[in-house]
Amino acid sequence: MEIIIKVNGRRIAEQIEPDLLLIDFLRKHGCYSVKRGCETANCGLCTVLMDNTPVLSCSVLAARADGHEIYTLEGLQEEASEFVGFIADQGADQCGFCNPGFVMNTIALLRENPDPTDDEIRAYLAGNLCRCSGYEGQLRGIRNFLDQRRK
């Protein structure tokens, strides 16, 4: 079957097998920030934005993305660069494996709610698995970014 997906602003038309997962389609097209973790939609490592909504690409067929716009971290570097340093300053990127999922969900959160409470941040990031930092560093980093932005 043929699908057409706009990935990071670039139109891609391709013949695919009906059971191809979106994560595999994206990685085939150079989006290596989209990581394979649990493959059960529980870790958030494969988070992408589909029409500006975070989705887990390991649980979405590429055929479902036909006609949609997908953004990965590769396409959102400028927006991500605004706050990733604040997260790094908190030591919240120890191994870095979970960072793309956290960054993608933080971008979606801040687009939806530019001034979230700590509880809203925690709720939005709850689906991201991090084995190193305990999540408090990410929360402090996002909070510091928001505080700095207000000044």
User: How confident is the model over 107-124, as a mean pLDDT?
Assistant: 91
For the chain, domains (ranges, CATH) are 2-75 (3.10.20.30), 76-150 (1.10.150.120)
Residues 51-66: pLDDT tens digits? 999 999 999 999 999 9
HEC secondary structure over 55-122: EEHHHCEHHHHCCCEEECHHHHHHHHHCCHHHHHHCCCCCCCCCHHHHHHHHHHHHHHCCCCCHHHHH
Query: When comparing pLDDT for 32 and 88, which is higher?
Result: 32
User: How confident is the model over 77-96, as a mean pLDDT?
Assistant: 82
